[in-house]
Every structure is written in structure tokens, then in C-alpha cells.
Structure 1
Amino acid sequence: MTEEEEPKSTIAYQPNPQWICSEYVQKVLRKFFNDNDLQIIEISIMPATAKGENYASTMTRVRAKYASPDQRNLQVGSYLIKSMVDNDEFVCEKLSVTAVFPREMEIYSIVIPKLHKILQSKSLDEELAPAIMDVDYERDSIMFEDLKVRSFVSADRVKGLDMVHAKMVLRKLAKWHAASAVLGNVEPEIFLSYDRGMMTRRTDVHVPFYLNSLRFCASALSRIPGYEKYASKMFDLQTELIELGSRAFDSKDNYLNVCAHGDLWTSNVLFKYNENNEPVDAILIDFQNTFWGSATIDLHYFFNTSLSDELVLDGQEELVQYYYEKLAENLRSLEYKGKIPTLKGFWIEFMDTSFYGFVSACLVKPYLINEDAAADADMAALLLENERADNFKKAVYSNERVHRYLKKLLPIFDRKGLLDPHQ
């Protein structure tokens, strides 16, 4: 039996939580299969994600061989256990304030079953998220099926997604948003507490991250010839950054509100490919930052963190129209009782929240494509204000690929007025 099996690699991996052991997994499997005689015969426990791939949680992969007295052959299962970071007091305190784990556990145990029921009622149901085996409120953890076994994998987070991948994600997202809009219309109370997204007014946990990232971004730009004017504007933007971001997250009665994913980027989508290496399916994962608000927030974040550089520059108009058409189609099919926006109205909403596109591109994406400082890539390095955290951010904004990306987008953001403190 192997209780601890570390990947043999130079990559810095997150440590396994000590409580994940044979006895714990056996208890979950017995409950899931309703078989108190089930026995684990062999188990392998290993980290599932490297540092920099998942800042707010720990992912552990478990492979188990198990049997029951009435079974002749061993059964084999592979699972993922997602849990809150438990080896850092500061991070645990901050995550408890944001309530990301209770939120995600509620999404899987309550919201997703309701969404499936809504979709099933109109024969629109399909797999949008992974199946769960257990939600553990005591450990703040969720045990999932391991989608890797079914050949679902992550796309290249540094390279970015092409049009085919992007439309596949948006089709699934539109269905999720539409079903959640219907659910919010039928059960208005269900999303009342969903007010703690990345830049919502309910919590200020992420404020140091955004402000310091803006400062380091501006500082890096100030040293690039020809980009000093953008650096100056970004320094001036510091006093209004949080208010402008929060304003984008505010739910508005005249817009279509949905249960937004809140953290939709490359690593939070898994793809399945055919024999020609073409994507044939996608599944959304990681619902820790869900909130009730504009669907356009998910679009801005997804576009500016996950698309290839070419699509970010030239593909957004096509993708917005594609998403809108799928959203409107699903809302009509689900007989949504609220007002369905026109395409023009949706574009107005998209522009109204576009400041978050700037935030996503300049203050978030640099960390998501970071490869040079992975050993320091953790939640503490994002939120703390100390020498290690500063060195980490400085290293991220010293990345030449980040510089190339910023050089392409900053003139566009500037022309749209998104670098102005008063907009």
C-alpha cells in the first residue's frame, strides 16, 4: 500500500493534506456505494496540481483498488479530492472570509442538481460539471470522479485557446447561465448570498492583490520605452481601481443576472479530444467564486485570461455574438419569464462592465501564464504584503511574454477610456 506517492519531477507540487488516507477514502466509498463491507486493498495518493495552477485550494488524486465480500474481482477507481489549503494560517483565515469552500460545496450539492432538473424538463440536459462522490463540510472538501480517466484534460494555459475551443466553452457557459437565470427567477432566495465574487463589495480580501498588482504592472511599464504614459495612467488609477471593479460586479435590475462562474479560465475547463486531436466536449470545473451578477463578467475574464493572443485582439466580437445567440436560444427554450436582452442591449452591458476586462488582462493573466516563479506561486504570495510577495509579483511582471501581451492590449484599453480614473 502506498499512502504517499510524490510525482518524480522538478515541478513544485502542492503537498497532500495529511488527513487524506486509506481510512478516509474507504469511508467515502462505503457511503457512496452504500456498502459497509467495502475494503480498500491498495491505494495511491498524490498531488494533482502544481503550484501556480490552483491558488485557493489543494487538489489530490487518489487511485484505489477495492472489493466487497460478494465481488469476485477487484474494482479500480480514480478520484480527485479538492480541499482548502490547510498548512497556512493566513490563507485559511482569508479563505474563510470569502466563503469559497462553503459556496462551492453548495453549488455541487444543491445548485447543480436544480440546474440539471431545469434543463431535463426541456430535454436540454448535458454534462456541465463533474459528478461528485462526497461533500465533506467538516473538512471543507469535495471528492469527484477523476475526469482524466475519461480522457478529459486541460488545454495549454500559456498558449491560450483557439476559436473552436472557445466556442465549445461558451456553449456550455451559455447553458449554465440560462438555467441559473431561470432558477433565480423561480427561487429568488437561492442566490441572495452569492455576493462574494472576486471584486464584489461584500469582501475586501482581494484588495491588496489588485492594488499591488497594479503597482507592479505600472512599475514594469515605466521601464519600457514608449509605454511610460500607460504606466503614469495606471499609477493614477490606483485610487479608483477597487470602486471601478466593484461597480462592474454590481448586479443591476435592468440587466440579465445569472449565477456567474467567476473564475472561468483555461485551467478551469477540461476538454475531451477525438483521434484527430479535435475537441469534442468540455466540462466546467471550480465553482469557488460563483456570484450573482452579469454574465458579461465571465466573458471578460475568459476572453482576457484564456484566449490566444490573436483571438483576444481580433475574435471577441464574433465570440460575444456566438455566446449571446446560445444564451438567448437557451432562455427561450427554458421559457424564461424575465426579459431577454437584445444583442445590442447585451453589447451595451458588455461595454458597461468592460473595466473588468482590463483587470483580467493586466492584473490577473500575468499570474496565470507565469512559469518562472512557480515555487512561490501560492495564495499567500498573492495576498500578503511582504518581501516574498513583492518579489513574486516583481518576477511575474518581469516576464517578457507578459510584456508582449501588455504592449498589444494597453493601447486598446487606453482608447476605450479604461485607464482613466474617472470613467
Structure 2
Amino acid sequence: MEGNKNIFNSDCDSEDVPKWINKDYLERVLKNYFKDNSLKILDFYTKLATKKGENYASLVIRVVIEYENKNLKYNIGKYIIKLSVEGDPIMARVIKEYRAFEDEMLLYSEAFPKILDLINTKSDLKDLALFPKPIYCDFEHNAIILEDLLQRDYKSADRVKGLDEQHAKLALKKLAVFHACSVILDQQDPGCFKKFDHGVYNRYSDGISEFFCKTMYKVCNVIQNFGGEFINYSKKIRNLIPHWVEKERQCYDPKPNQLNVLAHGDFWSTNIMFKYDESGRPIDAILIDFQFTVWASPAIDLHFFVNTSLAGVPNIEEMENYVRFYYKEFLETLKLFDFETKLKIPNSEEFVCDFWENGFNALQNSFLDKSISFMEDDSAACPEAIFNEGEKRERFQLAMISNKRIQEHWKILIPIFDKKGLLDL
């Protein structure tokens, strides 16, 4: 066992791991999960799983456990423990208002088991991995224990480089199955997902809206400095800012008598992991981090994805091709279940029109979310910068808007958004 002590390096971040995450606690969890009261933990090691800026709503801990089962067989288990954010009182209050952790726990404990049961009824989908396998939801400590996907050779893609077509289509196929399953379950139990109504923009909290809006004024200053036609674009975008929150809330509101799904709500490359074959070709994708899941239009996830996660800058044709690919996979999943509904499922072209009709979120994704994904200076990214005024926020905003790659991105996308009417009040 001595060799296994190097699974993590000596910097184990032990001061950041709550004291209740100890041998006795983990042993109880594994005994319950494996239904083995004789299971015995021999040793365990912990380390923070995310770098600065990669997760704003949770503390994520990676744990490796050495244990023996009832047959005295030696095992190594690798798990992720997600904890609700504590510490900064403002940040903790806002995250609580968003129900980010509460909703994710409900998903893993109630909704996801139903989705798994559903997909396992079809041989074409059986054992399909959509999300990490839950080990335990601890409502006392606000903790979720999940399988560590690294154990199954899933890896994160390079968020700065972006996803090529192979990666993108794998991710969209999994998203389509996830969305389609939620539609089917909603038909079986109408309204079962309506309680998930605390997306990034919602009707209950202004938590991070103030940061986004103030950053948008700085974005407008950068765009104005591009000169030429961009001076007018900057004015149009600046006129949108007082209406920004309400227009975003309308995107996140469920659409009566239209297609609604259980949207991931934060669907970008950081929240997707991939498995690769020996040649390095991506062969599977799995979705993670469901802290802002919301019952809403699928356009929420599609705009988030195409405007934050693709390599290069997509034009209208490329965006719509990805939307059509998603739609085909979505429809094929519904057909597997002989889906029937009183709601009209739009055809492919109608779906593309709906995508643009719910397109205001593309501005948020491109000006703000993409700016974060392009940041190469992780030291500037910290949750406190979003929730508190001051020097940390100024550094964060500067790192977001001064990146030359994101500025070139804006120069290409802004005329597209204007052509689609997204810059109009």
C-alpha cells in the first residue's frame, strides 16, 4: 500500500477539508453504498479537485480510499465530494438564494435515478452514462459524494482551446438524450421539474446580475474603442443594459405551450468530460455540475454551448448546423419511447427559429461567459470578485475584457447578433 500514498502529491489541502470528512464517515458511506457492513477503510487521501475560478458554487474535494470488502479483497475507490460554499457571508447568501446546492442534491437523489431507470428500459440506451454515478447525498452536511470520473478515464477538455466538431457532437448528443428523457418524464408526471426554476437568471434573486451588468458597461467601452461601425454597436448594447436582467429572465422562464426541457443551465466545456481511445480520439462525453439546472427552453443550453465552448468563432451556418444536429438526436431519442404529447414538437426549421427567438442569452454567453472561459490568468478568478466590490473585482473584470482573443471573438459575433435583432430593444 505504501506506493499508493503518492496518488496525490504532498500538498493535500487538508486545511480546506472539513473535519467531519474522516475515516468513520467515509466508512459508513461505503458500507451503505456497497451494502457491506464488514467493509473496512485502511486509509484515505484528499485533495481539492478544482483550481481557482473553476467552480463558484461548490467546494470540490477529490478523495482516494483504500479499503477491504467482505471477501478481504483490497480495493482503491476514487470519489468526488461536493460541498456547498461557506466562508464569505455574501457569497454564501447568494448561493443559498439560488438554491444551487439544494437543487443539485434533489437532482441526484430524486430526478437522476428516474432518468437512469428510463434509459435502462431501452436497449439502445441501456447503461448510457449521462452524469456521474451518485454514491451518497448528505442533506445534513450539504454534501454530494459522486464517482470520480477520472477512475473511468474521463478528462476535461481544454476550455481555452475550445472543442472541435468531434467533441462538440458527442456533448450535444448526450445533452439531447438528457433533455428528451426529461420531456418524457414530464409527460408521465406533469410539472415534476417545474420546481427547478432558479437558473443563472431567475425571478427570486438578483445575486450575480449586478456583477454582470457592471461588467457589460466595461465591455461596451472596449467595443466602442474598436471604432467604425462598432461605435454604434456599443451604443445599442449599452442601451440594453438597463433591461438586461429582465430580458435574461424571459429567456429562462418556461415557455407555455412550447417545448421545455430540464436544461443543464451551465452547459459549457468546463462542465463536460470526455473519454478518449488509444489514438486520442474522443469516444464519449458525460455532463457534470448541475447547480443551475432549470425547466426552460433547450435554447438556454444550446446558446451557452455554441457561444462559449467551440474552437474558433462559429458563424451563423455553423451554429445552426450544431442546433440541427442536436435536434436530430433529440427527436430520435423521443422516437425510441414512442413519444406522444399534446404539445407540438417543432420541426427542424421551426426549432432553429425558436433557437434565435430565445437568443438574448447569446449576448450573456459571448460577452461574459466566454470571456471567463478565455481567461488564462487563473489568479484573477475567484468567487469573491463576483460577489463583492473592490480590487479583486476590478482585476477579474480587467482579465475578462482585455484578452485579445475575446475581443476578436466579439468583432466577428457582434454583427451576427445585430443581424439577428439581438441588439434591439
Q: Which residue of 1 aligns with 2:282?
A: 279
State the 1:121 CA deviation: 2.8
Give the distance between the partners of 1:7 and 1:403, measured in 2 at CA. Answer: 40
Tell me the residue number matched to 1:84: 84
Output aligned runs, 1:232-243, within 5 Å: 232-243=235-246
Shift of 1:8: 5.8
Structure 2 match to 1:64: 65
Structure 1 CA distance for aligned equivalents of residues 245 and 15 of structure 2: 31
Residue 313 (structure 1) shift: 5.9
| Equivalent in the alignment of 1:103 | 103
Per-residue deviation, 1:100:
0.9
Contact 2:374 2:403 in 1 (8 A): no
- Offset of 1:280 from its aligned partner? 0.7
Give the corresponding residue for 1:411: 415
Work out whether residues 384 and 392 of structure 2, in 8 Å CA contact, stay in contact via their aligned partners in 1: no
Counterparts of 1:277 and 1:5, CA distance in 2: 25
Task: Give the match's secondary structure for 1:243.
Answer: helix
Cα distance between partner residues in 1 of 2:346 and 2:154: 34
2:356 maps to 351
Q: TM-score, normalised by structure 2?
A: 0.92
Deviation at 1:315, TM superposition (A): 1.7
CA contact (8 A) 2:264 2:293 kept: yes
Shift of 1:32: 1.4
Shift of 1:191: 1.3
Match for residue 379 of structure 2?
A: 375
Whole-Å separation in 1 of the counterparts to 2:131 and 2:22: 26
Alignment map for 1:2-41 (pairs within 5 Å): 15-41=16-42
Structure 2 counterpart of 1:191: 193
CA RMSD of aligned residues (A): 2.4
1: CA distance between counterparts of 2:188 and 2:389? 44
2:97 and 2:204 in contact (8 A); partners too: no
- Structure 1, unaligned runs of 5 or more: none
Moved more, 82-91 or 283-292: 82-91
Q: CA deviation at 1:330?
A: 1.3
Aligned-partner Cα distance in 1 for 2:10–2:412: 38
Question: Contact 1:64–1:76 at 8 Å: present in 2 too?
Answer: yes
The amino acid that maps onto 2:404 is E
Cα distance in 1 for partners of 2:14, 2:171 equals 27
| In structure 1, distance between residues paired with 2:235 and 2:14 | 38
Paired residue secondary structure (1:55): coil
CA distance 1:315–1:180, shift in 2 (3 Å): same
Distance 1:223 1:17 in 2: 48
Distance (whole Å) between structure 1 residues aligned to residue 187 and residue 163 of structure 2: 33
Residue in structure 2 matched with residue 217 of structure 1 by the alignment: 219
What secondary structure, in the 3-state scheme, does the structure 2 residue paired with 1:309 have?
A: coil
- Compared CA separation, residues 15 and 308, structure 1 to 2 (3 A): farther
Q: For residue 157 of structure 2, what is the aligned residue in structure 1?
A: 155
Q: Is the 8 A contact 1:199 1:245 kept in 2?
A: yes
How far has the Cα of 1:13 moved from its partner? 12
Q: With the length of structure 1 as denominator, give the TM-score of the two structures.
A: 0.92
Q: Shift of residue 14 of structure 1?
A: 11
Match of 1:145 in 2: 147
Structure 1 residues 250 and 133 mapped into 2: Cα distance closer, same or farther (>3 Å)? same
Instruction: Pick closer, same or farther for the CA change 1:132–1:370 going to 2, 3 Å.
Output: same
1:200 & 1:341 partners in 2: Cα distance? 26
Mean CA deviation greater in 48-57 or 152-161: 48-57
Quote the Cα distance in structure 1 between the aligned partners of 2:197 and 2:15.
29
Could you tell me how far 1:4 is from its partner in structure 2? 12
Given that residues 368 and 400 in structure 2 are in contact (C-alpha distance below 8 angstroms), is that contact kept between their aligned partners in structure 1? no
Single out whichever of 385-394 and 146-155 deviates more from structure 2: 385-394
Instruction: Quote the residue 2:337 is aligned against.
Output: 334
Contact 1:119–1:334 under 8 Å retained in 2 = no
Amino acid in the other structure paired with 2:149? L
8 Å contact from structure 1 (residues 209, 382) kept in 2: yes
Identity of aligned residues (%): 37
Secondary structure of 2:65 counterpart: strand
Q: Indicate conservation of the 8 Å contact 2:53/2:383, yes or no.
A: no
Q: Is 1:385 aligned to 2:386, yes or no?
A: no
Structure 2 distance, partners of 1:312, 1:17, is 47
Q: Secondary structure at the match of 1:191?
A: coil
Matched, 1:169 2:171: yes
**Residues matched between the structures, number:** 417
| Residue deviations 1:254-278 (CA, integer Å, cap 9, x gap) | 3211111111110111100001111
Does the 8 Å CA contact 2:57/2:101 hold for their aligned counterparts? Answer: no
Mapping for residues 282-321 of structure 1, pairs under 5 Å: 282-311=285-314, 314-321=317-324
